[in-house]
C-alpha cells in the first residue's frame, strides 16, 4: 500500500523527469558553463544520478523530489520552473514570467548562434532568411509571441507582475562612477571590494602563464573570492552604476556591462550626449540595454528609446532592465527590435537622433572559424554593417571598437565614404577571454597582425586598445 509524506506526495515514487526536462537541465548547465561534475558538486547530488537525469536513454524515469529541488536551487529557480510549469499565482502569459522566458530564449539562442556564426562563405541573404525562419519556427513551437509580451509590458498590472517576479540576484555589483572601485555584495556572507579595478571581473588566475601567478588576484585572494566567483558565474547578477540597475546572467547569449561600457559612456558624455536636445536613441546590439538606458536616463530630452539585438535573451533582459529603471520616465516611448545585425530597422520613418553601438570585435580569421561559435564578442559583421548604414539609422552614430578589428572598420569606412572621428581617450584594456587561452595560434596572429599587446610581466598578460568614434 502506498503512503503519503507530509507534502502529500506519494512516498518512494518521486517525479517523472520528461525528455523536455532533461533537455532543460542540460541547457541550463551549458548556459552556466558548468560540467556535470561541477553541477553535481554545487547541487550536492551524486554525479552518477545527475548523468541518469540528463541521459535521454536512461531507463530510470522517476527521481527523488529532494534531488530535483537541489538541482533547481543550484540554478536559483524553483522545481516548477525546472519542470517548465508556470507559477499559478502569476498571469497565464509568457509576458510576465521572466525565468521561463529566459530558459526558453536561451534554448532558441543556442540554435541561432551556430547558424549565424558559421556563415563565413554563405550568401548573406540566405543566412538572414534561415535566421528568420528558425526564429519564427522556434517561437511558434513554444507558443511564445513577442507581440503579446510587448503588449503585456504596456499593461501596468502585467508589467508590475513581470518586474516583481524577477528572480532575486545572488550577487549585487556596485560600480563607482569613476570606475575607481567595485564592490561585490554576497548577502548575507559579506562584501568583497576591489580598489582601482582594471576589469569588471578583474581576475587573472586562469591566464595561460606562470608569471601571472606572481601577482595577487584582487578577487580570489579574498576570503569571499570563491563564493563571489560561483555567484558571478552561475547565478543572477545585478549591476549598479550611477543609480541605474542592470540584470544579467552569465552565458553565451549575453555580455555584461563591462569596462568598455563605462569608458564609452565617459566618451559620449564628454562629447555632450547627455546635454544636447536629442529626442530619440537607438541602441544597436543592445545586450542588457546599457547604452540606450543610460542615454535615456541621463539626457532629460530623450522621449524615445529603441533596443535592437539579434538574439532573444538580450530582448528579454533589455526589456526587464528598462522597466526596472523606468521610474518617473513614463513619457519615454520604449521599443524593441529583433533582427540580424540592423535587420528590422529598415522601416524607420526617419533616422533616430542618436545611435549607439559597441559591436563584437574579434575578427574571424582564416583557420579559426570555431571562435565565432563560442563567443558573443566574435565577428565584425555588425561593426561593418553599422558603418555602412549609419546615415539611414541615425543623424549621429557613436561607435566603439577594438584596434583588433581596425582593418575591417577601415574597409567599411572607405566603402561608405565616411569618416570615423575619435572622441574621448584611447583606452588600453586587458584582453581576457577564457575560450582563447588554448588557441595560441589565434592569439599569435592577433599579436603579429592585429596589434594585440603581450605583457608577460604584468598581472594581465594580453591587452588591446579601445576607442569611441563618431561616424561623420
Quick: pLDDT tens for 188-226. 999 999 999 999 999 998 887 767 778 999 999 999 999
Give the model's pLDDT for residue 122.
Answer: 59
120 in the same domain as 52? no
- Give the pLDDT band of residue 94 (cuts 50, 70, 90): very low
Final residue of a structural domain among 83, 106, 125: 83
Final residue of a structural domain among 83, 109, 130: 83
DSSP string, 55-80: -TT-S--EE-HHHHHHHHHHTTS-HH
pTM assigned to the model: 0.79
Dist. CA 240–CA 294, nearest whole Å: 11
176 found inside a domain: no
232 found inside a domain: no
- Give the pLDDT band of residue 32 (cuts 50, 70, 90): low
Pairing relation of β-strands 394-402 and 462-471?
Answer: antiparallel
136 in the same domain as 268? no
Domain total in the chain: 3
Dist. CA 216–CA 222, nearest whole Å: 10
229 found inside a domain: no
With a cut of 80, say whether residue 27 has pLDDT above it. Answer: no
Dist. CA 176–CA 20, nearest whole Å: 43
434 in the same domain as 384? yes
Cα-flanking dihedrals φ and ψ of residue 181, to 5°?
-160, 140
With a cut of 80, say whether residue 370 has pLDDT above it. Answer: no
Give the model's pLDDT for residue 95.
Answer: 42
Q: Is the dihedral of CA 294, 295, 296, 301 positive or negative?
A: positive
In contact, 451 and 293? CB cutoff 8 Å:
no
Helix (H, G, I), strand (E, B) or coil at 438: coil
- Helix locations, 239-374, DSSP H: 259-270, 290-298, 312-325, 371-374
428 in the same domain as 358? yes
Residue 433's nearest CA partner among 375, 381, 373, 366 is 375
Dist. CA 144–CA 445, nearest whole Å: 43
Q: Which residues pair with 186 in a beta bridge?
A: 190
Cell of 40: 553535481
Lowest mean pLDDT among 80-89, 252-261, 373-382, 416-425: 80-89
365 found inside a domain: yes
Q: Which CATH number goes with the domain that contains 406?
A: 3.40.50.150
260 in the same domain as 146? no
Cell 548547465 maps to which residue?
A: 29
364 found inside a domain: yes
- Give the pLDDT band of residue 13 (cuts 50, 70, 90): low
Q: Which CATH number goes with the domain that contains 56?
A: 1.10.260.40
10 Å Cβ neighbour count for 230?
A: 15
With a cut of 80, say whether residue 347 has pLDDT above it. Answer: no
Beta-carbon contacts of 165 under 8 Å, excluding residues fewer than 6 positions away, are 87, 90, 96, 97, 98, 99
267 in the same domain as 134? no
Give the model's pLDDT for residue 78.
Answer: 80
**Measuring CA to CA, how many Å separate 264 from each of 325, 359, 411?**
20, 12, 23
Q: What is the 3-state secondary structure (H, E, C) of 171-206?
A: EEEEECCCCCEEEEEECCCEEEEEECCCCCCCCCCC
Give the model's pLDDT for residue 5.
Answer: 44
Dist. CA 228–CA 62, nearest whole Å: 34
391 in the same domain as 279? yes
382 in the same domain as 298? yes
Dist. CA 337–CA 282, nearest whole Å: 10
**Mean pLDDT of the chain, nearest integer:** 87
Dist. CA 57–CA 60, nearest whole Å: 9
- Give the pLDDT band of residue 93 (cuts 50, 70, 90): very low
Cα-flanking dihedrals φ and ψ of residue 207, to 5°?
-65, 135
114 found inside a domain: yes
Dist. CA 192–CA 184, nearest whole Å: 5
Orientation angle between helical segments 124-141 and 98-117, nearest 10 degrees:
150
With a cut of 70, say whether residue 120 has pLDDT above it. Answer: no
430 in the same domain as 281? yes
Quick: pLDDT tens for 233-289. 999 999 999 999 999 999 888 989 999 999 999 999 999 999 999 999 999 999 999
- Give the pLDDT band of residue 57 (cuts 50, 70, 90): confident
210 found inside a domain: no
Beta-carbon contacts of 468 under 8 Å, excluding residues fewer than 6 positions away, are 263, 264, 267, 268, 398, 399, 400, 422, 423, 424
Q: What is the 3-state secondary structure (H, E, C) of 279-315?
A: CEEEEECCCCCHHHHHHHHHCCCCCEEEEEECCHHHH
Cell 529603441 maps to which residue?
A: 306
Pairing relation of β-strands 181-186 and 171-175?
Answer: antiparallel
343 in the same domain as 453? yes
397 in the same domain as 256? yes
- Give the pLDDT band of residue 348 (cuts 50, 70, 90): low
Residue 30's nearest CA partner among 102, 84, 110 is 110
416 in the same domain as 345? yes
Query: Which tops the pLDDT comparison, 290 or 343?
Result: 290
Final residue of a structural domain among 23, 50, 83: 83
Residue 77's domain spans which residues? Answer: 15-83
- Give the pLDDT band of residue 6 (cuts 50, 70, 90): very low
173 found inside a domain: no
Amino acid at each position: 500500500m502506498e503512503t503519503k509524506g507530509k507534502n502529500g506526495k506519494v512516498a518512494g515514487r518521486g517525479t517523472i523527469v520528461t525528455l523536455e526536462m532533461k533537455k532543460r537541465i542540460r541547457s541550463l548547465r551549458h548556459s552556466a558553463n558548468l560540467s556535470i561534475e561541477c553541477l553535481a558538486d554545487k547541487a550536492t547530488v551524486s554525479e552518477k544520478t545527475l548523468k541518469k537525469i540528463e541521459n535521454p536513454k536512461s531507463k530510470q524515469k522517476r527521481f527523488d523530489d529532494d534531488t530535483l529541488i537541489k538541482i533547481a536551487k543550484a540554478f536559483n529557480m524553483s522545481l516548477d520552473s525546472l519542470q517548465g510549469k508556470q507559477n499559478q499565482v502569476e498571469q497565464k502569459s509568457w509576458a510576465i514570467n521572466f525565468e521561463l522566458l529566459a530558459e526558453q530564449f536561451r534554448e532558441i539562442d543556442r540554435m541561432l548562434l551556430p547558424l549565424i556564426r558559421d556563415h563565413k562563405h554563405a550568401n548573406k541573404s540566405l543566412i538572414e532568411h534561415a535566421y528568420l525562419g528558425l526564429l519564427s519556427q522556434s517561437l511558434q513551437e513554444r507558443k511564445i509571441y513577442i507581440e503579446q509580451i510587448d503588449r503585456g509590458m504596456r499593461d501596468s498590472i502585467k508589467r508590475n507582475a513581470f518586474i516583481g517576479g524577477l528572480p532575486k540576484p545572488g550577487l549585487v555589483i556596485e560600480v563607482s562612477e569613476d570606475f575607481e572601485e567595485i564592490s561585490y555584495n554576497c548577502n548575507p556572507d559579506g562584501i568583497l571590494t576591489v580598489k582601482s579595478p582594471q576589469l569588471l571581473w578583474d581576475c587573472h588566475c586562469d591566464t595561460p602563464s606562470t608569471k601571472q601567478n606572481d601577482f595577487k588576484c584582487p578577487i580570489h585572494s579574498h576570503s569571499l573570492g570563491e563564493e563571489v566567483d560561483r555567484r558571478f558565474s552561475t547565478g543572477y547578477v545585478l549591476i549598479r552604476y550611477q543609480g541605474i540597475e542592470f540584470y544579467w546572467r552569465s552565458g553565451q547569449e549575453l555580455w555584461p556591462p563591462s569596462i568598455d561600457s563605462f569608458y564609452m559612456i565617459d566618451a559620449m558624455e564628454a562629447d555632450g550626449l547627455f546635454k544636447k536636445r536629442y529626442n530619440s536613441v537607438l541602441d544597436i546590439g543592445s545586450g542588457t540595454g546599457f547604452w540606450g538606458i543610460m542615454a535615456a536616463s541621463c539626457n532629460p530630452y530623450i522621449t524615445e528609446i529603441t533596443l535592437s539585438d539579434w538574439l532573444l535573451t538580450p530582448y528579454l533582459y533589455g526589456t526587464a532592465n528598462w522597466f526596472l529603471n523606468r521610474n518617473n520616465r513614463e513619457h519615454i516611448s520604449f521599443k524593441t527590435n529583433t533582427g540580424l545585425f540592423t535587420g528590422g530597422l529598415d522601416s524607420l520613418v526617419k533616422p533616430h537622433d542618436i545611435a549607439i553601438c559597441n559591436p563584437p570585435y574579434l575578427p574571424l580569421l582564416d583557420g579559426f572559424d570555431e571562435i565565432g561559435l563560442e563567443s558573443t564578442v566574435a565577428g565584425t559583421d555588425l561593426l561593418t554593417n553599422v558603418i555602412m548604414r549609419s546615415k539611414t539609422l541615425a543623424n549621429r552614430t557613436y561607435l566603439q571598437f577594438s584596434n583588433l578589428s581596425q582593418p575591417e572598420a577601415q574597409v567599411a569606412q572607405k566603402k561608405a565614404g565616411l569618416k570615423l572621428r575619435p572622441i574621448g581617450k584611447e583606452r588600453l584594456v586587458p584582453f581576457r577571454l577564457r575560450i582563447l587561452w588554448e588557441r595560441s595560434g589565434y592569439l599569435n596572429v592577433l599579436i603579429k597582425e592585429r596589434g594585440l599587446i603581450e605583457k608577460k610581466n604584468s598581472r594581465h598578460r594580453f591587452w588591446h586598445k579601445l576607442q569611441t568614434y563618431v561616424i561623420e
